[in-house]
Amino acid sequence: MPFQTAARAGALMLATLLLVAACGPDSRPRRPSRARMSASPAPTPDPSVTQDPTAAAPTAAASARRTATAKPPAAPGLAAASIKLTRIAGLSSPVAMEAPAGEDSLYVAEKGGTVRALRAGNLDPAPVLDISSEVSTGFEQGLLGLAISPDRRYLYVNFTNRDGDTRIREYAMAGGRADPGSARDVLAIDQPFANHNGGHLAFGPDGKLWIGLGDGGSSGDPAGNAQSLDTLLGKMLRINPRPSGGRDYGIPSDNPFVGKSGARGEIWAYGLRNPWRYSFDRSTGDLYIADVGQNAWEEVNFRSAASKGGENYGWDRLEGTHRFEGDPPPGHVPPVYEYSLKEGCAVTGGYVYRGSRIPALQGAYLFADFCQGTIRAFAQRRGRAEGHRFLGPKVDQLSSFGQDQSGELYAMSLGGDIFRIDPA
């Protein structure tokens, strides 16, 4: 992606190291940073971006997420889809968004350790939650994900603490804010290195909390975590986050590895390197997982809503569909889409579009690459990606996507801007 000055190029390189470190090997031991990361310079205005700080927020009339009994077809008009970006807010290094059904607020996680809210299109000056004193922000660390329970009673955050280890924490919600005194750690995971923390959280259509974890870092998964079922690293987890049976959380009985010797019951799928954003199709329940590659390939994985779990996505035997170390694991699931690092540096997963404002995108999966920045899309049909195309607008340092209560999509920049994806 072109930059106007060497300073801006340097900012991108720094942000890349801090957030994804996707391409080059990294064998550095963990050294959590005590300093807050400063926001990168604002991106150069793009002609496809509309500056509109008062743009309307999603309405409270939007319906809750649901799982449909029949899959609606992908839009035949993807090839003709045209979009623009409307800037709705500026924050400090936004990395995740949550839009609970039943209200018109968008909750945004800032990497430095705060959760902010956009209410009826305006930024609430008071943070929803501030744990910046507890968060490490070096390399790919920080406050990396948030989720709000379907009943809106609890806020869950995924962050790396001052020791660089992952914590999944619960807060009781009241009046649209988290109660600091209600903090309860749900899950603690030691991180052997500073990179590949994953960090995303999402409640699925099943009401369970899904947690994406990277392989623990360094380069090439030196401990073989992604293929080992006795560790939570390199996995997609599925839990009941409320206390159960004397434990801090419950493990659903229908998880695929429950009761199996040598395997953790929390695991739903494995063989992941660093899942940087996954999402459920709100109309079908299908799951899309963007997994950041090592030296050559980026991938998007797909899981049908009918799956019973247990998928092995191949890392570190495979990088995408290509051999990385050893033989391909038996029965592995190849990605639905992959692209080489000639097109970027780290995939940023998005959402299947189920809004109403851009009919040509209906059913298409939107995603991007952190370095390349152009929003792109494909239609998934029978487990294959079809009609892939670049949609045009670029976002500098595109860190994450968001979805509001009406199914409209947003793109976030590590430089601070939040954009709504609108019809051109």
The mean pLDDT value for 59-70 works out to: 36
Q: What percent of the chain has pLDDT over 90?
A: 81
| 12 pLDDT more than 80 | no
| 40 pLDDT more than 90 | no
40 versus 73: the higher-pLDDT residue is 73
| 64 pLDDT more than 90 | no
The mean pLDDT value for 405-412 works out to: 98
For the record, the structure tokens of 262 come out as 């040598």
pLDDT in tens, 304-341: 999 999 999 999 999 999 999 999 999 999 999 999 99
The reported pLDDT for the residue numbered 19 is 43
Q: Buried b / exposed e across 100-130, counting CB within 10 Å, b at 16+? A: beebbbbbbbbbbbbbbbbeebebeeebbbb
The reported pLDDT for the residue numbered 139 is 78
Q: What are phi and psi of 134, to 5 degrees?
A: -105, -5
Q: What are phi and psi of 173, to 5 degrees?
A: -105, 140
pLDDT in tens, 332-356: 999 999 999 999 999 999 999 999 9
pLDDT in tens, 114-139: 999 999 999 999 999 999 999 998 87
| 7 pLDDT more than 90 | no
pLDDT band at 1 (very low <50, low <70, confident <90, very high): very low
Q: Write the single-letter amino acid at 384.
A: R
Give the other-Cβ count within 10 Å of 147's Cβ: 24
The reported pLDDT for the residue numbered 49 is 52
Q: How far apart are CA 77 and CA 362, in angstroms?
A: 8
Most confident of 67-76, 133-142, 180-189: 180-189
| 28 pLDDT more than 60 | no
The reported pLDDT for the residue numbered 138 is 85
Q: How far apart are CA 416 and CA 261, in angstroms?
A: 46
For the record, the structure tokens of 85 come out as 């970006």
Give the 3-state secondary structure of the chain.
CCCCCHHHHHHHHHHHHHHCCCCCCCCCCCCCCCCCCCCCCCCCCCCCEEECCCCCCCCCCCCCCCCCCCCCCCCCCHHHCCEEEEEEEECCCEEEEECCCCCCEEEEEECCCEEEEEECCEECCCCCEECHHHECCCCCCCEEEEEECCCCCEEEEEEEECCCCEEEEEEEEECCEECHHHCEEEEEECCCCCCCCCCCEEECCCCCEEEECCCCCCCCCCCCHHHCCCCCCCEEEEEECCCECCECCECCCCCCCCCCCCCCCCEEEECCCCEEEEEECCCCCCEEEEECCCCCEEEEEEECCCCCCCCECCCCCEECCEECCCCCCCCCCCCCEEEEHHHCCCEEEEEECCCCCCHHHCCEEEEEECCCCEEEEEEEECCEEEEEEEEEEECCCEEEEEECCCCCEEEEECCCEEEEEEEC
CB within 8 Å of 110: residues ≥ 6 apart: 91, 92, 93, 94, 95, 116, 143
pLDDT band at 50 (very low <50, low <70, confident <90, very high): low
The mean pLDDT value for 187-215 works out to: 97
pLDDT in tens, 358-370: 999 999 999 999 9
The reported pLDDT for the residue numbered 149 is 98
Q: Write the single-letter amino acid at 227.
A: Q
Could you tell me which of 333, 384, 378 has the C-alpha nearest to residue 351? 378
| 13 pLDDT more than 50 | no
Specify the range with the lowest mean pLDDT, choosing from 59-68, 87-96, 268-277: 59-68
| 239 pLDDT more than 50 | yes
The reported pLDDT for the residue numbered 77 is 84
Mean pLDDT of the residues in the chain: 86
| 278 pLDDT more than 90 | yes
The answer to whether the beta carbons of residues 362 and 66 sit under 8 Å apart is no
Could you tell me which of 195, 55, 200, 78 has the C-alpha nearest to residue 138? 195
The mean pLDDT value for 174-202 works out to: 97
